[in-house]
Amino acid sequence: MHTQFHSITLALTLAFGGGLAAAAPAKVADAIYYGGDIVTINDQQPTAEALAVKGGVILAVGSRAELGKLKGKQTKMVNLHGQTLLPAFLDAHSHYINSLTVASQLNLYAPPAGPAKDVPSIVAELKKFAAEKKIKKGELIQAYGYDDTAMPEGRLLNRDDLDAALPNNPVIVHHVSMHGGVLNSLALKKFNINADTKTPEGGIIVRKEGTNEPYGLIMETAFIPVFGQLPKPTTDKEIAAATRAGQMLFAQTGITTAHEGASHEGDIVVMQKAAKLGANIIDVIAFPFMTDMEKVLKTNPPATFGKYHNRFKLGGIKVTIDGSPQGRTAFFTTPYLNGGPGGEQDWKGEPTIPAELTNKVVKRVYDLGLPLNLHANGDAAIDQFIAAHEFAAAGSLDKDRRTTVIHSQFVRKDQLGKYAQYKIIPSMFTLHTFYFGEAHKANRGMEQASYISPMRDAIDRGITVTNHTDFVVVPLDQMFMLWSAVNRVSRGGEVFGAEQRITPLEGLKAMTINVAYQYREEDKKGSLETGKLADLVILDQNPLKVEPMAIKDIKVVETIKEGKTIYRRAKQAK
């Protein structure tokens, strides 16, 4: 209502001329955008001819004639030249902290996102990377994006492959799920994983056949100690440089608010240091991970959450119940069709933490009054969350907590009903239809694979739903994410769940205003309305007007944070 009041006041002032001249100094815009489509994501005013910005905030949205009255001598007139202006995108879930280091790592996504089509190509790319970077003997080498589901004929990467390629360096090839990785012998030794290492509850250590020797792949709770020990920038100069480089990965895709989805205590120290150094060019929201929650709370009491300090804030707490469906570590009520990642039979996956602990942690977060982000992919994991919610929120099941179930990939229809009843936000992951559609079909069967991220059913039930990339699980590409939600076409060209397709406008809402709602920032971000931050993105085409299959080809031309350009695409030679 606050922003609508200002819009009405400005409209009346412009229409009747009352006081505009007298108030001219306060009403002169810094910039006025015009000359292209303006998609506001505001149902009360879906489109406009012009938008005015002053002091990093949207001053007015309306006709060009009206906003022309806000033009002064210093006003910058920005002609869109037929391009499209929208609110900047908000990242509903990714692992922002990884952006600080992936710039120095090897991209091993499967095609078309990367070069890793099979094990030999992975080995060749690793050797090439080490040679080009002149990596010294004994130095840790990291790569990201390894997708075992894309490996032909089931020939998977293992310890021996990495030993043969780089015998003198510890090597970690991170799994595309970000829930594990393949380690060579020196890396296993570095992180103290050997034949005597017991597999922790909720974890996986794949062993070489006929032995107890780890064969490279470490997943879930077994990988958490490894992840926590990975090197991070430490000096002020390193932190500032890594922060700007990482945030540009987001800015170039039109994102001005990034999400750090499972922050360890050391990660938070780095991000807070970056904020103090003034290194942030976008907003960053971090969710301390359940394992580090109490340590973080000692230095960051609940009252400090939800408030930006130099564009960084703690958003709430992150709890993880299961793993990834493509890694066959998601927790289901029915078995996988092809067993577990280590050859387990009748494999349904396992919870990362038992139900009793889930209940306790969820109740602790609710009692603190903090927002909860909870990772759950399989339907059994979602059942476990719903039971925990009913335990922890007894008496106030539908309180507006902005509780968000990250991924909600294999949510059942009856569980969507609970989401609607309890005001739960599902943040879905429609890019799985492209990158992992065939893997889900093989693992779970076509019926269940076609119902991954059922955004249509969620929206039709009145649920506020968001969409995300889970970077670095898949590349940051907001237009490709939108394309996947609208089309649901796989890497192999197969449609997975045509009935769950959504409209381009619904898809845009799931990456703008709905995400702002997820973060309790809907009064400041997510739509083009008077009084909101001037966080804007300019696209070369309008997603609402191009053919649905062409949405992925739309390019981000410019990203604007609070009225200032932070990214501009280089002009392409004709």
pTM for the structure as a whole: 0.86
CA Rg, the chain, in Å? 24
Query: What is the rounded CA–CA span in Å between residue 296 and residue 299?
Result: 6
- Residues 529, 7: contact at Cβ < 8 Å? yes
Contacts of 235 (CB under 8 A, 6+ apart): none
Give CA 367 to chain center in angstroms.
Answer: 27
Of 320, 379, 327, 390, which is closest to residue 354 (Cα–Cα)?
320
Tokens of 492: 């192999």
Identity (one letter) of the amino acid at 35?
G
Domains and CATH numbers, the chain: 1-88+528-574 (2.30.40.10), 96-228 (3.10.310.70), 316-527 (3.20.20.140)
Strand-strand pairing, 203-207 and 214-220: antiparallel
- Residues 403, 389: contact at Cβ < 8 Å? yes
- Residues 281, 244: contact at Cβ < 8 Å? yes
Give CA 450 to chain center in angstroms.
Answer: 22
- Please give the torsion angle defined by the CA atoms of residues 248, 254, 256 and 260, in that order, rounded to the nearest 10 degrees: -70
Per-residue pLDDT, 336: 98
Angle at 249 between CA 147 and CA 515, to 5 degrees: 85
Band the pLDDT of 9: cuts 50, 70, 90.
very low
Residue recorded with tokens 């100094």: 25
Look at 1 and 57; give whichever has higher pLDDT.
57
Per-residue pLDDT, 541: 98
Q: What number is the average pLDDT over the span 503-519?
A: 98
pLDDT in tens, 256-311: 999 999 999 999 999 999 999 999 999 999 999 999 999 999 999 999 999 999 99
Order of strands across the sheet with 214-220? 106-107, 141-146, 171-175, 180-183, 214-220, 203-207
pLDDT in tens, 135-166: 999 999 999 999 998 899 889 999 999 999 99
Identity (one letter) of the amino acid at 417?
G
Query: What is the rounded CA–CA span in Å between residue 306 and residue 94?
Result: 18
Per-residue pLDDT, 178: 79
Query: What is the rounded CA–CA span in Å between residue 431 and residue 210?
Result: 38
pLDDT in tens, 17-61: 333 333 334 589 999 999 999 999 999 999 999 999 999 999 999
Strand-strand pairing, 564-568 and 556-561: antiparallel
Per-residue pLDDT, 481: 98
Any idea what DSSP says for residue 550? G
Q: How many CB atoms lie within 10 A of CB 244?
A: 16
Tokens of 468: 């995300």
End-to-end CA distance of the chain: 47
Query: What is the rounded CA–CA span in Å between residue 54 and residue 72?
Result: 12
Q: What number is the average pLDDT over the span 429-437?
A: 96
pLDDT(343) > 90: no
- Residues 20, 13: contact at Cβ < 8 Å? yes
Query: What is the rounded CA–CA span in Å between residue 3 and residue 23?
Result: 19
Angle at 131 between CA 126 and CA 135, to 5 degrees: 90
pLDDT in tens, 210-257: 999 999 999 999 998 998 888 888 899 999 999 999 999 999 999 999
Query: What is the rounded CA–CA span in Å between residue 143 and residue 103?
Result: 10
On the 0-12 / 13-18 / 19+ scale of CB atoms within 10 A, 51 is buried
Query: What is the rounded CA–CA span in Å between residue 172 and residue 504?
Result: 38
Total number of residues shown for the chain: 574
pLDDT in tens, 390-428: 999 999 999 999 999 999 999 999 999 999 999 999 999
- Residues 484, 543: contact at Cβ < 8 Å? no
Per-residue pLDDT, 574: 52
Ranges of H-type helices in 28-167: 64-68, 96-102, 119-132, 159-165
- Residues 320, 290: contact at Cβ < 8 Å? yes
Q: How much of the chain exceeds pLDDT 90, in percent? A: 87
Identity (one letter) of the amino acid at 159?
R
Residue recorded with tokens 């099979």: 118
